[in-house]
Homo-oligomer: A and B are copies of this chain.
Amino acid sequence: MDGYTFSVPVRVRFADTDAQGVAHNSAYLVWFEVARVEYLRAFAGGYQALRDRGVEALVLESFCRYRVPAVFDDELVVHTRCVGLRGARFRYEYAILRGDELIADGHTEHACVDALTLRPTRTPDWLVAAIQAAESAAG
Protein backbone atom coordinates (compact mmCIF):
# COMPACT_ATOMS: atom_id res chain seq x y z
CA MET A 1 0.00 0.00 0.00
CA ASP A 2 1.70 3.16 -1.24
CA GLY A 3 2.85 5.59 1.39
CA TYR A 4 2.23 3.32 4.33
CA THR A 5 5.19 2.40 6.49
CA PHE A 6 3.89 -0.60 8.26
CA SER A 7 1.22 -3.24 8.24
CA VAL A 8 -0.17 -5.91 10.49
CA PRO A 9 -2.57 -8.78 9.71
CA VAL A 10 -5.80 -9.19 11.66
CA ARG A 11 -8.38 -11.91 11.35
CA VAL A 12 -12.07 -11.02 11.86
CA ARG A 13 -13.11 -12.91 14.99
CA PHE A 14 -16.60 -14.25 15.49
CA ALA A 15 -16.89 -11.95 18.51
CA ASP A 16 -16.24 -8.99 16.17
CA THR A 17 -19.35 -9.69 14.12
CA ASP A 18 -22.88 -8.48 14.76
CA ALA A 19 -26.40 -9.54 13.81
CA GLN A 20 -26.00 -7.88 10.39
CA GLY A 21 -23.47 -10.63 9.70
CA VAL A 22 -20.59 -8.17 9.36
CA ALA A 23 -17.81 -6.86 11.58
CA HIS A 24 -19.20 -4.31 14.05
CA ASN A 25 -18.14 -0.70 13.48
CA SER A 26 -16.36 -0.54 16.86
CA ALA A 27 -14.07 -3.46 15.97
CA TYR A 28 -12.22 -1.31 13.46
CA LEU A 29 -11.02 1.01 16.24
CA VAL A 30 -9.59 -2.01 18.02
CA TRP A 31 -7.78 -3.07 14.83
CA PHE A 32 -6.40 0.47 14.47
CA GLU A 33 -5.07 0.13 18.01
CA VAL A 34 -3.50 -3.25 17.29
CA ALA A 35 -1.68 -1.64 14.35
CA ARG A 36 -0.42 1.27 16.52
CA VAL A 37 0.84 -1.09 19.17
CA GLU A 38 2.72 -3.20 16.63
CA TYR A 39 4.09 -0.08 14.94
CA LEU A 40 5.52 1.10 18.26
CA ARG A 41 6.93 -2.36 18.88
CA ALA A 42 8.63 -2.40 15.50
CA PHE A 43 10.05 1.11 15.62
CA ALA A 44 10.17 2.42 19.18
CA GLY A 45 10.59 -0.35 21.73
CA GLY A 46 6.89 -0.91 22.24
CA TYR A 47 4.09 1.02 23.90
CA GLN A 48 5.25 -0.31 27.25
CA ALA A 49 8.49 1.65 26.76
CA LEU A 50 6.41 4.84 26.87
CA ARG A 51 4.48 3.73 29.92
CA ASP A 52 7.70 2.70 31.65
CA ARG A 53 8.92 6.30 31.31
CA GLY A 54 5.71 7.75 32.72
CA VAL A 55 4.12 8.72 29.43
CA GLU A 56 0.74 7.66 28.11
CA ALA A 57 -0.64 8.43 24.66
CA LEU A 58 -4.31 9.41 24.79
CA VAL A 59 -6.68 9.08 21.87
CA LEU A 60 -8.09 12.53 21.06
CA GLU A 61 -10.03 11.66 17.96
CA SER A 62 -10.98 8.68 15.82
CA PHE A 63 -12.36 8.55 12.33
CA CYS A 64 -13.23 5.52 10.25
CA ARG A 65 -14.80 5.26 6.82
CA TYR A 66 -16.37 1.80 6.30
CA ARG A 67 -16.21 1.12 2.57
CA VAL A 68 -16.96 -2.58 2.21
CA PRO A 69 -18.27 -4.77 5.05
CA ALA A 70 -15.79 -7.24 6.52
CA VAL A 71 -17.17 -10.60 7.54
CA PHE A 72 -16.25 -13.40 9.93
CA ASP A 73 -12.89 -15.00 9.28
CA ASP A 74 -11.75 -12.38 6.76
CA GLU A 75 -8.00 -11.95 6.68
CA LEU A 76 -7.39 -8.23 6.76
CA VAL A 77 -4.22 -6.20 6.63
CA VAL A 78 -4.11 -2.93 8.55
CA HIS A 79 -1.64 -0.51 6.96
CA THR A 80 -0.56 2.41 9.09
CA ARG A 81 1.77 5.38 9.27
CA CYS A 82 2.45 8.05 11.85
CA VAL A 83 2.28 11.65 10.68
CA GLY A 84 1.94 15.18 11.96
CA LEU A 85 4.25 15.07 14.97
CA ARG A 86 4.18 18.46 16.69
CA GLY A 87 4.47 19.25 20.39
CA ALA A 88 2.51 16.68 22.33
CA ARG A 89 0.49 15.49 19.34
CA PHE A 90 0.72 12.99 16.53
CA ARG A 91 -1.64 11.21 14.19
CA TYR A 92 -1.89 7.70 12.80
CA GLU A 93 -3.49 7.05 9.45
CA TYR A 94 -4.84 3.64 8.48
CA ALA A 95 -6.00 1.71 5.47
CA ILE A 96 -7.52 -1.74 5.96
CA LEU A 97 -7.33 -4.07 2.98
CA ARG A 98 -8.75 -7.47 2.20
CA GLY A 99 -6.52 -8.67 -0.60
CA ASP A 100 -6.41 -5.69 -3.00
CA GLU A 101 -9.69 -4.28 -1.82
CA LEU A 102 -9.77 -1.23 0.45
CA ILE A 103 -12.42 -2.02 3.01
CA ALA A 104 -11.91 0.86 5.44
CA ASP A 105 -9.65 3.79 6.14
CA GLY A 106 -9.35 6.40 8.84
CA HIS A 107 -7.14 8.05 11.38
CA THR A 108 -6.63 8.58 15.07
CA GLU A 109 -5.21 11.71 16.69
CA HIS A 110 -3.15 11.41 19.86
CA ALA A 111 -1.52 13.42 22.59
CA CYS A 112 1.25 12.39 24.94
CA VAL A 113 0.36 13.00 28.56
CA ASP A 114 2.13 12.55 31.85
CA ALA A 115 0.91 9.19 33.16
CA LEU A 116 0.29 10.56 36.66
CA THR A 117 -1.27 13.95 35.96
CA LEU A 118 -2.75 13.18 32.52
CA ARG A 119 -1.50 16.64 31.47
CA PRO A 120 -0.10 17.07 27.94
CA THR A 121 3.63 16.60 27.71
CA ARG A 122 5.89 16.98 24.67
CA THR A 123 6.32 13.74 22.74
CA PRO A 124 9.67 12.43 24.05
CA ASP A 125 12.61 13.14 21.73
CA TRP A 126 13.56 9.48 21.45
CA LEU A 127 10.03 8.68 20.26
CA VAL A 128 10.00 11.56 17.76
CA ALA A 129 13.35 10.38 16.45
CA ALA A 130 12.18 6.77 16.18
CA ILE A 131 9.01 7.73 14.30
CA GLN A 132 10.85 10.11 11.97
CA ALA A 133 13.39 7.42 11.17
CA ALA A 134 10.64 4.92 10.46
CA GLU A 135 8.65 7.28 8.27
CA SER A 136 11.58 8.65 6.31
CA ALA A 137 12.81 5.12 5.60
CA ALA A 138 9.38 4.47 4.10
CA GLY A 139 9.40 7.63 2.01
Q: CB within 8 Å of B: which residues of A?
A: 13-15, 17-22, 24-27, 29-30, 33-34, 37, 46-48, 56, 58-66, 69, 71-73, 108, 118
| CB nearest to A64 among chain B residues | B62
Chain B residues in 8 Å Cβ range of A27? 26
- Check if B15 sits within 8 Å of A24, measured CB to CB: yes
- Check if A69 sits within 8 Å of B20, measured CB to CB: no
Name A118's contact: one of B14, B46, B47, B69 (CB within 8 Å).
Answer: B69
Chain B residues in 8 Å Cβ range of A46? 73
- Check if A33 sits within 8 Å of B14, measured CB to CB: yes
- How far is A73 from B34 in the complex, measured between Cα atoms in Å? 10
